[in-house]
Amino acid sequence: MKDIKTVDIIVPCYNEEQNIEAFYRRTRQVEESLEGCSFSYIFVDDGSTDGTLETIKKLCQEAVERVVSIKYISFSRNFGKEAAMYAGIRASAGSSGDLAVIIDADLQHPPEMIGNMLGIMEETGCDCVAARRVSRKGEPKIRSLLARGFYKIMNRYSDISIADGAVDFRLMKKAMVKAIASMPETQRFSKGIFAWVGFDTEWIEFENVKRLSGESKWTVWGLTKYAVDGFIDFADYPLKVLGAFGGVTAAGSALYLVFEIIKTLVMGKDTPGYASTICLILFFGGVIIAMLGLLGEYIGRMYLETKGRPVYVEKESNIDD
Ligand code: UDP
Ligand code: MG
C-alpha cells in the first residue's frame, strides 16, 4: 500500500468572506478525488474587516465532525499577503505534513491543479512545483506592462531570476518549507525567496482566471512599490552603479583639472564662463541628491530590519505551539 501523503494547504485571506467557503468546498472535492493524499488546511486571516474569520471558524466546527484538520491564525491587523504566507509557512514547517501548497483564497489558482502538481512531483522527484500564468487576461493592461518590465529588470540585474508570470501558487516539500520558514527577514518578497532558497523546481502553466468575488487588493501604486522593494531586497547592483559612477566622475574631473592647468600655462588666462560652472554644479548637485536618495533606500531597509520587529502579530489561533 502506498503511504498517505499529508499536504498543508496554506491560504492567505484578506476580506475573502465571499470566497472562502467556495474555495474550501472545491478544494475538498479535489482532495477526495486524489488517492493516497490528505489535506490539512491552514487559513491565515490577514486582519480582515469582514466576516472572514467567522467563516473560517464555521468551517472549523464543521471540519471537526468530518475529521478534517483546519488550523487558522488571525492577525491583529492587515500585515499584507507576504506576512500571511510567512505565518502559514511557519505553521506548516512545525506541522506533521509532508508537503505544503500556498494558494489564493479567491479561486484564481485552480485547486484542481494541486493534483497535477502532485503528479509532476511524483514523476520527476523535484522539490517544488510552481505555477506560472501564461496569459494575463482579465487584468488591467498597465499592470501586465509593469509586471513584464519588472521581470526583465529583476532577471538582468539582481542575484536571482524569476520566471515571468510566476505566481505564489506552489507545492513544496518539507525541506523547502523549513528553509523558507528559517528566513526571518521582515521585508519579505516571496518570489525572490522561493528562487533564493534553491531546490529543483518544475513549472506548470495555467491560464489566468478572474477572481470569484470582490476586487484585487493591489493598486498600481502598491504593485510598483512592491516591485521596487522586491528588486532592492535582492540586488546590490544599484549600489555598484553608484560607486562606478562616482569613480568615473572623479577620474574625469581630475583629467579636466590637468587639462585646465596645462591650458592656462601654455595659452595664458582667459575669461572664465559662469554658465558652464553653474550647469556643472546643478548637474552634480542633482546626481548627489539622487545617490543619497538611493543610499537612503538601502539604509532605510537596514534600519527597519535591525529593529527586529516581527513580521506579523497574531491575535488568535487554534494552533498550540
Ligand atoms: N491577501 C492577503 N493580504 C493582503 C492582500 C491579499 O492575505 O493584504 C490574500 C488575498 O486574500 C488572496 C491573495 O492574497 O487570497 C491574493 O490577493 P489578491 O487576489 O488581492 O491579489 P491578485 O490575485 O490580484 O494578485
Ligand atoms: Mg486574486
pLDDT at 321: 60
Neighbours of 200 (CB within 10 A): 13
For residues 226 and 147, the answer to whether their CB atoms sit within 8 Å is no
Tell which one of 45, 104, 108 to mutate to probe ligand 1, the residue whose CB is within 8 A of the most ligand atoms.
104
6 CB-side CA count, 13 A: 13
What's the CA-to-centroid distance between 211 and ligand 2, angstroms?
5
Mean pLDDT score, 60-80: 87
pLDDT in tens, 40-63: 999 999 999 999 999 999 998 887
Atom of ligand 1 nearest to the CA of 216: 20
pLDDT at 1: 39
What's the CA-to-centroid distance between 294 and ligand 1, angstroms?
29
Residues in the chain: 321
Who contacts 151 (Cβ-Cβ below 8 Å, separation ≥6)? 162, 163, 164, 165
Give the C-alpha separation, 232 to 96, whole Å.
35
Give the C-alpha separation, 34 to 39, whole Å.
10
Atom of ligand 1 nearest to the CA of 84: 7
Burial classification of residue 83, based on how many CB atoms lie within 10 Å of its CB (0-12 exposed, 13-18 middle, 19 or more buried): buried
Q: Give percent of the chain above pLDDT 70.
A: 96
Instruction: Say if residue 236's pLDDT is above 90.
Output: no
pLDDT at 62: 84
Which ligand is closest to the CA of 77, given by its number?
Answer: 1
247 against 319, higher pLDDT: 319
Return the residue whose CA atom lies nearest to atom 19 of ligand 1: 216
Weakest mean pLDDT among 98-102, 207-211, 261-265: 207-211
Instruction: Say if residue 228's pLDDT is above 90.
Output: no
Show the ligand 1 pocket: residues with CB < 6 angstroms.
12-14, 16, 46, 78, 80-81, 84, 104-106, 108, 211, 216-218
Give strand pairing partners of 74: 45, 316
pLDDT at 144: 79
- Computed over every residue of the chain, the mean pLDDT equals 85
Give the C-alpha separation, 99 to 93, whole Å.
9
For residues 312 and 79, the answer to whether their CB atoms sit within 8 Å is yes
pLDDT in tens, 128-167: 999 988 877 767 777 778 888 888 888 888 778 888 788 8
Which ligand is closest to the CA of 167, given by its number?
Answer: 1
Q: Give percent of the chain above pLDDT 90.
A: 40
Atom of ligand 1 nearest to the CA of 13: 11
pLDDT in tens, 88-100: 999 999 988 899 9
Q: Which of 16-30, 142-156, 256-270 has the highest mean pLDDT?
A: 16-30
Neighbours of 127 (CB within 10 A): 20
**Grid coordinates representing 44?**
491565515
157 against 317, higher pLDDT: 317
Confidence of residue 271 (pLDDT cuts 50, 70, 90): low
Residue 9 phi/psi, 5-degree rounding, is -100, 105
For residues 178 and 93, the answer to whether their CB atoms sit within 8 Å is yes
320 against 83, higher pLDDT: 83
Mean pLDDT score, 173-184: 94
Give the C-alpha separation, 316 to 148, whole Å.
39
Return the residue whose CA atom lies nearest to atom 13 of ligand 1: 104
Mean pLDDT score, 237-251: 77
Give strand pairing partners of 38: 6
- Which residue in 247, 118, 124, 239 sits closest to 171, CA to CA? 118
